[in-house]
Chain A
């Protein structure tokens, strides 16, 4: 196991180098430059020249890249052009809000998705299955932005049950977490439904039934455990997707997380923040994938990870 983890981490270093290099290239290829955004259209040429030099953007791109790689190796990403403080500090300040949002939405999605998937997969083709299937298709079809606005209108404006936007209390987390969770819930539910339906046809389920267990005991005690395997995988893999959704959700609900920071940094061509945030997100996604792989092998002992003894 340790060898597997070591090997994956080694590959991870290469992946992170690739991600860091790619984002360096992308932000510089994007049209528009940081100085005109920072200084605005009223700045004169002297001010633009001075700021360009101050930001180190007057150097050849390859020189900038080498300097950037040296900084990345020390986990230094320079100062945010906009906030004039270390970019990674800015990212770490926003990270907890996004982690809260992602954990809450994952929890909702997994819990709700499992229940719906079990209900549907327990009796494939039944009324509940048809309802769940139709519902999950709808959940995946609605744009996250629209769902967020609808939830605000219903729960904040019409019923005055929850705050419409902002952060600061657990109540503020509920609507954004649900908004982010809904499409993920649909994925978990459909996957669980398929997995449970398949498992329910396995001979060992017949064996369990023949032992006199009730359908509920069979479902929860036997089918669910094995149906969890693909769900664990998808939760790990879907973290990157959740991060993408968080960008939209954070904007709709004025949630002060990493998503809004990245969007603003891209708009403002704040290279340092974009690079720091992307690097961190890539690292988190890689880590989640690794954890999912390891959990997968633990849940299904037949699966041997590449390199495992």
Chain B
């Protein structure tokens, strides 16, 4: 085949193609998301990289309000009546005091005076009431905590929340309730592009695809934060987050796996800290499955896994052997008798119970980060002849199967943004919850009493008794209390690692700025 010598026309076409590409490239249109643009933030600015997206700034959104990213942003932009301290206790934010009546059905909150929104307008009791009504009307997941509750303003400085039944956990539940201007009704995406709040920061720029830029709110009742700007960037890849921290492009990261901590600890420019979190590795047994109906079978399976060794090897810095279904920073934590690793006794107990060793148990989990942990469990169970299918599922499939009880053992890292056992024990373990196939009327009574008592000491005692039943009946295995790891540039001071993975930027500053 012969080809003619190329004419000028094709040459022109090829050059045009290249030129067009070059022109388009030179116009390289500001792919959004970079925030401060060229890398490390200077002066009193910091850049942080979260593991999750901030899709919405609306804490009342029916679809994303309770998402971790939204909560992180909300606590910087808006105020709450009360907020949790890192040790799990509560402190007043907009409320200066709160108290229940004798039956814990009516809670009175005294409001801080002189608080202003970032647009200069005063924050009043009417704003608090309107925000609560909006929360209920939008029917967000958080709204389900307040079904049948009403809030009224009894004076400009006081609001009263009436519960449908005695509820001692009200203040803790309100830790994720944010106050917005009363003029806001329904869903209003435009408002949340540049929201008005009374938190320590204001929104300078919000791009749901990746970046939230915060600047100090000079009208904040506690005084403006010392940081000049906080840029929150979404960086889903761990390697990218860690590299950005080490190059100085990012000042603070969290959600760091244990096996990566040593590398960061060797870097003299960084500080690494861990904090006991509200999270507990929770491995429910499906008690409605025929093979797992008996508590002695479930306990034997727990006894067959050497969790102490697994944790020591996989989570030497960020895990400790759990001794309760809830973490030590949660109200209602009462330590239980440890389950001793004894594979021989476990096998004997399973044989005595007539356990079918030829059947396969389905262990489901959702995040690749937990694969080694679950593989180690499967390995230990196999040593005593228990067959397990390890099923790593996509989040959408995992959640659907979780609710449908389409599993035998379910792995989850359960955290608790309210720091109150009512949100975990009280919500997930009653018969009506139908979350793990376990039903015990005695447990239901204890949980109901714990949720209704206005006396904190009594609540802890009752949750302790409930924990004992959950623990001894092995509703699940509770192998590990989780510590969250944070790493930050030494130039940033005032970093307090948060037990829920929601760092508070208001107390941070850049040294020398």
Q: Which residues of A contact B (CB under 8 A)?
A: 30-34, 36-44, 47, 50-51, 81-85, 90, 93-94, 96-97, 99-101, 103-104, 106-107, 110-111, 149, 152-153, 156-157, 160, 163-173, 199, 202-204, 208, 222, 225-226, 228-229, 232, 251-257, 260-261, 264, 267-269, 295, 298-301
* Cβ contact within 8 Å between B34 and A167: yes
* Cβ contact within 8 Å between B62 and A167: no
Given A41-B403, A168-B32, A264-B53, 20 extra CB contacts under 8 A: A31-B396, A31-B397, A31-B400, A32-B398, A37-B399, A40-B67, A42-B427, A47-B139, A82-B63, A97-B32, A100-B28, A103-B24, A111-B18, A156-B247, A167-B31, A226-B6, A254-B235, A256-B210, A267-B394, A298-B10
Question: Secondary structure of the A side of the interface?
Answer: helix
11 pairs from A and B in contact (CB 8 Å cutoff)? A38-B63, A38-B64, A42-B427, A84-B189, A96-B29, A104-B25, A163-B38, A166-B34, A168-B31, A172-B34, A222-B6
User: How far is the CB of B162 from the nearest CB of chain A, in Å?
Assistant: 21
User: How far is the CB of A267 from the nearest CB of chain B, in Å?
Assistant: 6
Is B14 positioned at the interface, with any CB of A under 8 Å from its CB? yes
* Cβ contact within 8 Å between B9 and A298: yes
Known contacts A51-B62, A173-B31, A299-B10; is A204 also within 8 Å of B25 by CB?
Answer: no
User: How far is the CB of A15 from the nearest CB of chain B, in Å?
Assistant: 24
Q: List, in ascending order, chain B residues with CB within 8 A of A295's CB.
A: 13, 17
Q: List, in ascending order, chain B residues with CB within 8 A of A152's CB.
A: 239-240, 243
CA distance A105 to B189 in the complex (A): 35
CA distance A43 to B141 in the complex (A): 6
* Cβ contact within 8 Å between A44 and B144: yes
CA distance A152 to B238 in the complex (A): 12
Proximity bits, B245-266, A CB within 8 Å = 1, else 0? 0110100000000000000000
Q: List, in ascending order, chain B residues with CB within 8 A of A199's CB.
A: 3
B 35-59 contacts with A by CB, 8 A: 35-39, 53, 55-56
CA distance A40 to B399 in the complex (A): 7
Range of interface residues on chain B? 35 or more
The residue that B396 contacts in the complex, of A37, A44, A100, A167, with Cβ under 8 A, is A37
CA distance A110 to B18 in the complex (A): 9
User: How far is the CB of B388 from the nearest CB of chain A, in Å?
Assistant: 21
In this complex, the member of A44, A106, A168, A252 whose beta carbon has the largest number of chain B beta carbons within 10 angstroms is: A168
* Cβ contact within 8 Å between B400 and A33: yes
* Cβ contact within 8 Å between B139 and A50: yes
CA distance A31 to B399 in the complex (A): 11
Q: List, in ascending order, chain A residues with CB within 8 A of B187's CB.
A: 84
Q: List, in ascending order, chain A residues with CB within 8 A of B246's CB.
A: 157
